[in-house]
Amino acid sequence: MASIPEILFHPDAANNPQEAYARIHSECPVTREADMNGNSTVYLTRYADVMWALKHPEVFSSAPGAVDIGQSQPLIPLQVDPPEHAKYRRFLDPEFSPRRMAELEPDVRALTNEVLDRFVDKGGCEFHQEFATPLPSALFLRLMGLPQSDLEMFLGWRDDTIRPASSDPEEMSAIRDRAGKAITAYFMESLAEKTRNPDDGLLTRLANGEIEGRPVTAEEKLGMCHLLLLAGLDTVTATLDCMIVFLARNPEMRAQIVADPSRIPAVIEELLRWDTPVALVARMLTSDTEIGGVEVKAGDGCAVVIGAADVDAEEFERAGSVDFDRPANRHVAFGAGPHRCLGSHFARLELRVAIEEWHRRIPEYSIPDEVEVNFTPAIRQAMSLPLDWPLTKP
Q: Strand, helix or coil at 275?
A: coil
- Taking the complex as a whole, the smallest distance from the CB of residue 236 to ligand HEM amounts, in Å, to 5
Instruction: Report how far residue 286's alpha carbon sits from residue 299's, in angstroms, rounded to the nearest whole number.
Output: 6
Indicate the DSSP class of residue 76.
Answer: T
Q: What is the dihedral of CA 62, 23, 367, 379, to 10 degrees?
A: 10
- Taking the complex as a whole, the smallest distance from the CB of residue 283 to ligand HEM amounts, in Å, to 7
CA atoms within 13 A on the CB side of 345: 16
Residue facing ligand HEM at closest CB distance:
343
Q: Which of residues 175 and 224 has its CB atom nearest to ligand HEM in the complex?
A: 224
Question: Which residues would be at the binding site for ligand HEM (CB under 6 A)?
Answer: 62, 77-78, 89, 227-228, 231-232, 235-236, 239, 277-278, 281, 306, 333-335, 339, 341-343, 346-347
- Taking the complex as a whole, the smallest distance from the CB of residue 48 to ligand HEM amounts, in Å, to 17
Q: Which of residues 4 and 240 has its CB atom nearest to ligand HEM in the complex?
A: 240
Which residues contact residue 258 at a Cβ distance below 8 angstroms, ignoring those fewer than 6 apart? 359, 363
Q: Which of residues 77 and 386 has its CB atom nearest to ligand HEM in the complex?
A: 77
Q: Which of residues 133 and 235 has its CB atom nearest to ligand HEM in the complex?
A: 235
- Count of CB atoms situated within 10 Å of the CB of 251: 12
- Count of CB atoms situated within 10 Å of the CB of 382: 24
- Taking the complex as a whole, the smallest distance from the CB of residue 92 to ligand HEM amounts, in Å, to 7
- Taking the complex as a whole, the smallest distance from the CB of residue 123 to ligand HEM amounts, in Å, to 28
- Taking the complex as a whole, the smallest distance from the CB of residue 304 to ligand HEM amounts, in Å, to 7
- Taking the complex as a whole, the smallest distance from the CB of residue 2 to ligand HEM amounts, in Å, to 26
Q: Which of residues 175 and 359 has its CB atom nearest to ligand HEM in the complex?
A: 359
Question: Exposure of 183 by Cβ count < 10 A (0-12 exposed, 13-18 middle, 19+ buried)?
Answer: buried
Q: Which of residues 101 and 125 has its CB atom nearest to ligand HEM in the complex?
A: 101
Instruction: Report how far residue 77's alpha carbon sits from residue 84's, in angstroms, rounded to the nearest whole number.
Output: 9
Strands laid side by side in the 40-44 sheet: 30-34, 40-44, 301-304, 281-285, 60-61
Q: Which of residues 134 and 232 has its CB atom nearest to ligand HEM in the complex?
A: 232
Q: Which of residues 227 and 319 has its CB atom nearest to ligand HEM in the complex?
A: 227
Instruction: Report how far residue 359's alpha carbon sits from residue 361's, in angstroms, rounded to the nearest whole number.
Output: 5
- Taking the complex as a whole, the smallest distance from the CB of residue 239 to ligand HEM amounts, in Å, to 4
Under a CB-based contact definition with an 8 Å cutoff, are residues 336 and 55 in contact? yes
Strands (DSSP E) found in the chain: 30-34, 40-44, 60-61, 124-126, 210-211, 214-215, 281-285, 289-291, 294-296, 301-304, 386-388
Q: Which of residues 104 and 175 has its CB atom nearest to ligand HEM in the complex?
A: 104
- Taking the complex as a whole, the smallest distance from the CB of residue 379 to ligand HEM amounts, in Å, to 9
- Taking the complex as a whole, the smallest distance from the CB of residue 358 to ligand HEM amounts, in Å, to 16
Handedness of CA 294, 299, 300, 305 (dihedral sign): positive
Instruction: Please name the amino acid found at residue 196.
Output: R
Q: Which of residues 175 and 245 has its CB atom nearest to ligand HEM in the complex?
A: 245
Instruction: Report how far residue 91's alpha carbon sits from residue 143's, in angstroms, rounded to the nearest whole number.
Output: 16
